[in-house]
Amino acid sequence: MVRLLILGGTAEAAALARAVAGRAEIITSLAGRAGVPDLPGRVRVGGFGGAAGLEAFLRAEAVDAVIDATHPFAARISAHAEAACQAAAVARLVLARRQWRRDADDRWILVDSVAEAAARLPEIGRRAFLTVGAGDVAGFTDVRGVWFLVRLLQERRQPLAACAVITGRPPFTVEAEEALMRAHGIDVLVTKASGGDATYAKIEAARRLGLAVLMIRRPPPPAGETVETIAAALGWLENLTLDSL
Ligand code: NAP
Protein backbone atom coordinates (compact mmCIF):
# COMPACT_ATOMS: atom_id res chain seq x y z
CA MET A 1 0.00 0.00 0.00
CA VAL A 2 1.16 3.53 -0.81
CA ARG A 3 2.35 5.50 2.21
CA LEU A 4 0.72 8.90 1.89
CA LEU A 5 1.49 12.10 3.78
CA ILE A 6 -1.40 14.59 3.77
CA LEU A 7 -0.40 18.11 4.69
CA GLY A 8 -3.54 19.31 6.35
CA GLY A 9 -5.17 21.84 8.64
CA THR A 10 -8.20 22.28 6.39
CA ALA A 11 -11.64 20.70 6.04
CA GLU A 12 -10.54 19.47 2.60
CA ALA A 13 -7.56 17.62 4.08
CA ALA A 14 -9.80 15.91 6.63
CA ALA A 15 -12.30 14.93 3.92
CA LEU A 16 -9.42 13.60 1.81
CA ALA A 17 -8.09 11.45 4.68
CA ARG A 18 -11.57 9.98 5.18
CA ALA A 19 -11.92 9.29 1.45
CA VAL A 20 -8.48 7.69 1.18
CA ALA A 21 -8.92 5.45 4.24
CA GLY A 22 -8.34 1.83 3.24
CA ARG A 23 -6.63 2.75 -0.05
CA ALA A 24 -3.35 4.05 1.40
CA GLU A 25 -1.43 4.16 4.64
CA ILE A 26 -2.14 7.70 5.78
CA ILE A 27 -0.18 10.13 7.88
CA THR A 28 -1.88 13.52 8.29
CA SER A 29 0.32 16.39 9.38
CA LEU A 30 -1.08 19.42 11.18
CA ALA A 31 0.56 22.63 12.34
CA GLY A 32 -1.52 22.17 15.49
CA ARG A 33 -3.02 25.64 15.82
CA ALA A 34 -6.68 24.72 15.58
CA GLY A 35 -7.01 21.46 17.51
CA VAL A 36 -6.62 17.91 16.30
CA PRO A 37 -9.61 16.36 14.50
CA ASP A 38 -10.45 12.69 14.65
CA LEU A 39 -8.97 11.26 11.43
CA PRO A 40 -8.25 7.83 10.01
CA GLY A 41 -4.58 6.83 9.97
CA ARG A 42 -1.83 8.50 11.93
CA VAL A 43 -1.88 12.16 12.87
CA ARG A 44 1.32 14.05 13.65
CA VAL A 45 1.33 17.59 14.98
CA GLY A 46 3.81 20.48 14.72
CA GLY A 47 6.33 21.89 12.26
CA PHE A 48 8.99 19.75 10.60
CA GLY A 49 11.76 22.32 10.93
CA GLY A 50 11.72 23.79 7.44
CA ALA A 51 12.10 22.07 4.07
CA ALA A 52 15.13 20.10 5.26
CA GLY A 53 13.18 18.78 8.25
CA LEU A 54 10.31 17.74 6.00
CA GLU A 55 12.72 16.03 3.60
CA ALA A 56 14.23 14.09 6.53
CA PHE A 57 10.72 13.11 7.65
CA LEU A 58 9.82 11.83 4.16
CA ARG A 59 12.94 9.68 4.09
CA ALA A 60 12.64 8.40 7.68
CA GLU A 61 8.98 7.46 7.24
CA ALA A 62 9.49 6.04 3.72
CA VAL A 63 6.69 8.26 2.39
CA ASP A 64 5.73 7.45 -1.24
CA ALA A 65 3.48 10.41 -1.93
CA VAL A 66 2.47 13.78 -0.52
CA ILE A 67 -0.82 15.56 -1.03
CA ASP A 68 -0.57 19.21 -0.06
CA ALA A 69 -4.10 20.02 1.10
CA THR A 70 -3.11 23.03 3.19
CA HIS A 71 -4.90 26.37 3.11
CA PRO A 72 -4.18 28.57 0.04
CA PHE A 73 -2.64 31.19 2.36
CA ALA A 74 -0.27 28.68 3.99
CA ALA A 75 2.43 29.45 1.43
CA ARG A 76 5.45 28.51 3.51
CA ILE A 77 4.57 24.89 4.17
CA SER A 78 3.60 24.49 0.49
CA ALA A 79 6.98 25.84 -0.65
CA HIS A 80 8.71 23.51 1.81
CA ALA A 81 6.70 20.56 0.48
CA GLU A 82 7.71 21.41 -3.07
CA ALA A 83 11.42 21.56 -2.18
CA ALA A 84 11.38 18.51 0.10
CA CYS A 85 9.50 16.27 -2.34
CA GLN A 86 11.86 17.25 -5.13
CA ALA A 87 14.91 16.53 -2.99
CA ALA A 88 13.59 13.18 -1.76
CA ALA A 89 12.05 12.22 -5.15
CA VAL A 90 8.58 11.83 -3.66
CA ALA A 91 5.45 12.31 -5.79
CA ARG A 92 3.44 15.41 -4.81
CA LEU A 93 -0.04 16.65 -5.63
CA VAL A 94 -1.64 19.95 -4.62
CA LEU A 95 -5.30 19.83 -3.61
CA ALA A 96 -6.34 23.47 -4.05
CA ARG A 97 -9.58 25.28 -3.38
CA ARG A 98 -11.53 26.54 -6.35
CA GLN A 99 -11.11 30.32 -6.66
CA TRP A 100 -14.17 32.48 -6.08
CA ARG A 101 -15.46 34.26 -9.20
CA ARG A 102 -16.59 37.86 -9.02
CA ASP A 103 -20.28 38.33 -9.86
CA ALA A 104 -21.45 41.49 -11.67
CA ASP A 105 -23.13 42.68 -8.44
CA ASP A 106 -20.12 42.08 -6.19
CA ARG A 107 -18.39 45.13 -4.69
CA TRP A 108 -14.94 43.64 -4.15
CA ILE A 109 -11.91 45.73 -3.33
CA LEU A 110 -8.85 43.53 -3.89
CA VAL A 111 -5.65 44.08 -1.89
CA ASP A 112 -2.37 42.18 -1.76
CA SER A 113 -1.84 41.79 1.97
CA VAL A 114 -3.34 42.03 5.45
CA ALA A 115 -1.34 45.24 5.96
CA GLU A 116 -2.88 46.81 2.85
CA ALA A 117 -6.37 45.70 3.95
CA ALA A 118 -5.83 47.34 7.35
CA ALA A 119 -4.58 50.56 5.74
CA ARG A 120 -7.52 50.80 3.32
CA LEU A 121 -10.29 49.74 5.71
CA PRO A 122 -11.17 53.13 7.33
CA GLU A 123 -11.89 54.68 3.93
CA ILE A 124 -14.29 51.82 3.08
CA GLY A 125 -16.39 51.18 6.19
CA ARG A 126 -17.01 51.80 9.89
CA ARG A 127 -18.37 48.40 10.99
CA ALA A 128 -16.33 45.50 9.66
CA PHE A 129 -17.00 41.77 9.71
CA LEU A 130 -13.46 40.40 10.06
CA THR A 131 -13.04 36.80 8.90
CA VAL A 132 -9.30 36.52 8.24
CA GLY A 133 -8.54 33.88 10.88
CA ALA A 134 -6.88 34.09 14.29
CA GLY A 135 -3.37 34.36 12.83
CA ASP A 136 -4.11 37.64 11.06
CA VAL A 137 -6.46 39.53 13.38
CA ALA A 138 -3.50 41.31 15.00
CA GLY A 139 -2.81 42.96 11.65
CA PHE A 140 -5.83 45.22 12.35
CA THR A 141 -4.70 46.41 15.81
CA ASP A 142 -3.74 49.90 14.63
CA VAL A 143 -6.92 50.56 12.63
CA ARG A 144 -8.81 53.51 14.13
CA GLY A 145 -12.47 54.50 13.72
CA VAL A 146 -13.68 51.01 12.80
CA TRP A 147 -15.65 48.59 14.99
CA PHE A 148 -15.02 44.89 14.30
CA LEU A 149 -17.16 41.79 14.46
CA VAL A 150 -14.40 39.16 14.64
CA ARG A 151 -15.22 35.55 13.79
CA LEU A 152 -12.79 32.90 15.03
CA LEU A 153 -12.78 29.12 15.33
CA GLN A 154 -12.00 29.33 19.03
CA GLU A 155 -12.98 31.91 21.65
CA ARG A 156 -10.42 34.65 22.33
CA ARG A 157 -10.91 37.63 24.61
CA GLN A 158 -10.79 41.12 23.10
CA PRO A 159 -8.31 40.63 20.23
CA LEU A 160 -8.92 44.24 19.10
CA ALA A 161 -9.78 47.41 21.04
CA ALA A 162 -13.26 47.93 19.52
CA CYS A 163 -14.75 44.56 18.73
CA ALA A 164 -17.11 41.72 19.51
CA VAL A 165 -15.95 38.13 19.05
CA ILE A 166 -18.08 35.30 17.79
CA THR A 167 -17.00 31.72 17.17
CA GLY A 168 -18.09 29.54 14.30
CA ARG A 169 -16.91 26.69 12.12
CA PRO A 170 -17.82 26.49 8.42
CA PRO A 171 -19.94 25.70 6.49
CA PHE A 172 -22.33 28.62 7.02
CA THR A 173 -25.59 29.35 5.22
CA VAL A 174 -26.24 32.50 3.19
CA GLU A 175 -29.34 33.24 5.26
CA ALA A 176 -27.45 33.02 8.56
CA GLU A 177 -24.56 35.15 7.23
CA GLU A 178 -27.00 37.78 5.96
CA ALA A 179 -28.86 37.87 9.28
CA LEU A 180 -25.56 38.14 11.20
CA MET A 181 -24.31 41.06 9.10
CA ARG A 182 -27.67 42.84 9.34
CA ALA A 183 -27.89 42.33 13.11
CA HIS A 184 -24.48 43.96 13.63
CA GLY A 185 -24.98 46.76 11.10
CA ILE A 186 -21.95 45.60 9.12
CA ASP A 187 -20.92 47.83 6.21
CA VAL A 188 -17.80 45.97 5.02
CA LEU A 189 -16.71 42.34 4.97
CA VAL A 190 -12.98 41.67 5.30
CA THR A 191 -11.87 38.28 4.03
CA LYS A 192 -9.06 36.35 2.44
CA ALA A 193 -9.75 35.11 -1.09
CA SER A 194 -9.67 31.59 0.27
CA GLY A 195 -12.02 30.10 -2.32
CA GLY A 196 -13.96 26.85 -1.97
CA ASP A 197 -17.54 26.26 -0.90
CA ALA A 198 -17.45 26.14 2.90
CA THR A 199 -17.08 29.89 3.47
CA TYR A 200 -18.63 31.23 0.26
CA ALA A 201 -21.96 32.05 1.95
CA LYS A 202 -20.56 35.31 3.40
CA ILE A 203 -19.65 36.48 -0.12
CA GLU A 204 -23.16 35.79 -1.36
CA ALA A 205 -24.69 37.43 1.72
CA ALA A 206 -22.56 40.55 1.22
CA ARG A 207 -23.72 40.68 -2.40
CA ARG A 208 -27.37 40.46 -1.34
CA LEU A 209 -26.84 43.27 1.17
CA GLY A 210 -24.88 45.39 -1.33
CA LEU A 211 -21.85 45.51 1.02
CA ALA A 212 -18.25 46.24 0.12
CA VAL A 213 -15.90 43.26 0.43
CA LEU A 214 -12.26 43.99 1.20
CA MET A 215 -10.61 40.89 -0.17
CA ILE A 216 -7.00 39.87 0.34
CA ARG A 217 -5.60 38.17 -2.78
CA ARG A 218 -4.13 34.68 -2.54
CA PRO A 219 -0.38 34.29 -2.58
CA PRO A 220 0.89 32.64 -5.78
CA PRO A 221 -0.19 28.99 -5.79
CA PRO A 222 2.36 26.21 -5.30
CA ALA A 223 3.87 24.83 -8.50
CA GLY A 224 3.16 21.31 -9.69
CA GLU A 225 0.22 19.09 -10.50
CA THR A 226 -2.93 20.53 -8.97
CA VAL A 227 -6.50 19.28 -8.61
CA GLU A 228 -9.57 20.92 -7.07
CA THR A 229 -11.62 17.90 -5.97
CA ILE A 230 -11.22 14.91 -3.68
CA ALA A 231 -12.31 12.65 -6.55
CA ALA A 232 -9.45 13.93 -8.73
CA ALA A 233 -6.98 13.44 -5.86
CA LEU A 234 -8.19 9.84 -5.47
CA GLY A 235 -7.67 9.33 -9.22
CA TRP A 236 -4.09 10.63 -8.92
CA LEU A 237 -3.42 8.26 -6.02
CA GLU A 238 -4.90 5.35 -7.92
CA ASN A 239 -2.61 6.01 -10.91
CA LEU A 240 0.34 6.24 -8.60
CA THR A 241 -0.52 2.88 -7.07
CA LEU A 242 -0.89 1.28 -10.52
CA ASP A 243 2.42 2.80 -11.68
CA SER A 244 4.24 1.38 -8.68
CA LEU A 245 2.95 -2.19 -9.22
P1 NAP B 1 2.57 28.56 6.82
O2 NAP B 1 2.83 30.01 7.08
O3 NAP B 1 2.63 28.07 5.43
O4 NAP B 1 3.55 27.65 7.68
C5 NAP B 1 4.30 28.12 8.77
C6 NAP B 1 5.00 26.94 9.39
O7 NAP B 1 4.07 26.14 10.13
C8 NAP B 1 5.63 26.01 8.39
O9 NAP B 1 6.90 26.49 7.99
C10 NAP B 1 5.67 24.72 9.16
O11 NAP B 1 6.72 24.72 10.11
C12 NAP B 1 4.40 24.75 9.95
N13 NAP B 1 3.28 24.09 9.27
C14 NAP B 1 2.29 24.66 8.53
N15 NAP B 1 1.41 23.76 8.13
C16 NAP B 1 1.84 22.58 8.60
C17 NAP B 1 1.35 21.24 8.52
N18 NAP B 1 0.21 20.95 7.87
N19 NAP B 1 2.05 20.26 9.14
C20 NAP B 1 3.21 20.55 9.81
N21 NAP B 1 3.71 21.79 9.93
C22 NAP B 1 3.03 22.79 9.34
O23 NAP B 1 1.16 28.15 7.43
P24 NAP B 1 0.06 29.01 8.24
O25 NAP B 1 -0.54 30.00 7.31
O26 NAP B 1 0.67 29.45 9.53
O27 NAP B 1 -1.01 27.87 8.49
C28 NAP B 1 -0.75 26.84 9.41
C29 NAP B 1 -1.74 25.70 9.17
O30 NAP B 1 -3.06 26.18 9.33
C31 NAP B 1 -1.63 25.10 7.76
O32 NAP B 1 -1.51 23.71 7.89
C33 NAP B 1 -2.92 25.50 7.07
O34 NAP B 1 -3.44 24.47 6.25
C35 NAP B 1 -3.85 25.82 8.22
N36 NAP B 1 -4.72 26.99 7.92
C37 NAP B 1 -4.17 28.17 7.56
C38 NAP B 1 -5.00 29.25 7.27
C39 NAP B 1 -4.43 30.56 6.81
O40 NAP B 1 -5.23 31.48 6.56
N41 NAP B 1 -3.12 30.72 6.69
C42 NAP B 1 -6.39 29.10 7.37
C43 NAP B 1 -6.92 27.85 7.74
C44 NAP B 1 -6.07 26.80 8.02
P45 NAP B 1 8.16 24.09 9.81
O46 NAP B 1 8.84 25.03 8.87
O47 NAP B 1 8.80 23.98 11.15
O48 NAP B 1 7.92 22.74 9.17
Q: What is the DSSP string of 130-156?
A: EES-GGGGGGGTT--S-EEEEEESS--
> What is the per-residue pLDDT for 161?
96
Q: Please tell me the CATH code under which domain 3-98+220-244 is placed.
A: 3.40.50.20
Supply the pLDDT for residue 219: 96
Separation of CA 77 and ligand 1 centre (Å): 6
Q: Is the CB of 169 under 6 A from ligand 1?
A: no
pTM over 0.85: yes
- Count the neighbouring beta carbons within 10 Å of the beta carbon of residue 194: 22
Could you tell me if the CB of 53 is within 6 A of ligand 1?
yes
Q: How far is the CA of 46 from the centre of ligand 1 (A)?
A: 9
pLDDT in tens, 121-141: 999 999 999 999 999 999 999
Within the chain, all domains assigned CATH 3.40.640.10 are found at 107-216
pLDDT score of 154 more than 60: yes
Percent of the chain residues topping a pLDDT of 70 = 99
Cα(23) to centroid(ligand 1), Å: 26
Segment 81-87 mean pLDDT: 98
Query: 104 Cβ partners below 8 Å, 6+ apart?
Result: none
Q: Counting Cβ atoms within 10 Å, is residue 184 exposed (0-12), middle (13-18) or buried (19+)?
A: middle
Q: Going by CATH, does the domain composed of 107-216 fall within 3.30.70.260? A: no
pLDDT at 37 over 90: no
Exposed, middle or buried by CB within 10 Å (0-12, 13-18, 19+), for 38? exposed
CB-ligand 1 contact for 57 (6 Å cutoff): no
Query: How far, in Å, are 9, 18, 201 from residue 168 at the CA level?
Result: 16, 23, 13
Measured from the CA of 71, which atom of ligand 1 is nearest?
Answer: 34
Confidence of residue 35 (pLDDT cuts 50, 70, 90): confident
Nearest one of 73, 80, 27 to 53, comparing CA atoms: 80
Residues of the chain with CATH 3.40.50.20: 3-98+220-244
Res 36: pLDDT: 81
Atom of ligand 1 nearest to the CA of 54: 48
What pLDDT does residue 32 have? 87
Which atom of ligand 1 approaches the CA of 49 most closely? 47
Sheet containing 91-95: order of strands: 42-45, 25-30, 3-7, 65-68, 91-95, 226-227
Return the percentage of the chain with pLDDT > 90, whole number: 93
Given a cut of 90, is residue 33 above it in pLDDT? no
Q: Is the pLDDT of residue 242 over 90?
A: no
In this predicted structure, what is the pLDDT of residue 245? 57
Question: Taking all residues of the chain, what is their mean pLDDT, rounded to a whole number?
Answer: 96
Ligand 1 within 6 A of CB of 50:
yes
195 lines ligand 1 (CB under 6 A): no
pLDDT by residue (tens digit) across 159-203? 999 999 999 999 999 999 999 999 999 999 999 999 999 999 999
